[in-house]
Amino acid sequence: MAKKSKLRISLYVLAGLVVLVLLILAGAGRYMLGFSLSPDKNRHDIDSTYAILYERYPDMKPWMDSVNTNGILKDTFVVMPTGERHHAYYMKADNAHGKTAVLVHGYKDNAIKFMYFCRMYNRDMGYNVLMPDLHGHGLSEGEDIQMGWKDADDVMNWIGIAEELFREEGCKTAMVVHGVSMGAATTMNVSARDVPDYVNAFIEDCGYTSVWDEFSMQLKEMFGLPSFPLLTWTSSLCNRKYGWNFREASPLESVKKCRKPMLFIHGDEDTFVPFSMMQPLYDAKPQPKECWIAPGSEHARSYKDHPAKYTAVVRDFLNKYNAN
């Protein structure tokens, strides 16, 4: 009887420990989901966003003052199929030649922080530009970050809106989609879709292979934790709450389906989205494709470190592939 009692107690203790571990895992998973996918609480503070832009790129202020004073930079709100109200900035080229760039920002950023790309395309290359605030970013509605996965649906809608905004005399514009970091992941996921014929090229700058790979790396770097079991559980929570999981959100799988030209850009000192992710992405993409490695550049700093070279690389690529 004593042995049975001890066995029963041991089983109760074991069961209690299992329950405790599950409760801890559940709580940790909810925390990680909120930590990784909750929008910036200050995302609607546009003034502070401009301040960040000017701190990083002081030479942007005169140009931004000019385009704002002259009413060249405009914005628009649209209702997405989800019923949420989304926002974008757009700017028409002075001498529009039927070419348009849809520019996609990064994680917990917004379109304003990437206005230097708007300047590059509009002032330096003569492109019309549309820059959406992604779901849960900037002035767009949404209470979760979609890591470029469901964002691809929204960008598909913005592609059609951009074509309508910049259409001249019934002609369809030649278009490139260009994204940075999470925007690059979005761009790669869009590239797998049945995009309109006028979308001729894609540019991804420092995108990740998959959400699973990126979060796994960050979990280890920031918390010293392995992927299993926390990331597995958090991915499952994401699937139940938002309808997608970290493994399926895979730009690596998306680029395998892309048949249109893509330019890959990555700084060789990037540790946030490791430079090592560029090669498998490039290898997975069928021809035509090109790549440029920004020497000495950290995450999303390739343009800042090498503005003239970056512009030249992009211009040469688009002159080759983004024809009317």
Preceding peptide of 229 cis, ω within 30°: yes
For 232, the token pair is 């597995």
Contact, 192 vs 254, CB < 8 A? yes
Q: Which residues of 142-177 are buried (b: 16+ CB within 10 A; e: fewer)?
A: bebbbbbbbbbbbbbebbebbbebbeeeeebbbbbb
Answer whether residue 21 shows pLDDT above 80. no
- Domains delineated in the chain: 1-37+214-248 (no CATH), 48-210+249-321 (3.40.50.1820)
Summarised one tens digit per residue, pLDDT across range 112-134 is 999 999 999 999 999 999 999 99
Summarised one tens digit per residue, pLDDT across range 34-89 is 989 999 999 999 999 999 999 999 999 999 999 999 999 999 999 999 999 999 99
Q: How far is CA 117 from CA 58, 121, 122, 288, in A?
A: 14, 6, 8, 24
List, in sequence order, every residue forming a beta bridge with 103; answer none if it has no partner: 178
Summarised one tens digit per residue, pLDDT across range 186-236 is 999 999 999 999 999 999 999 999 999 999 999 998 888 888 888 999 999
Residue with tokens 């035509």: 288
Sign, CA torsion 8/10/15/20: positive
d(CA 88, CA 110): 10
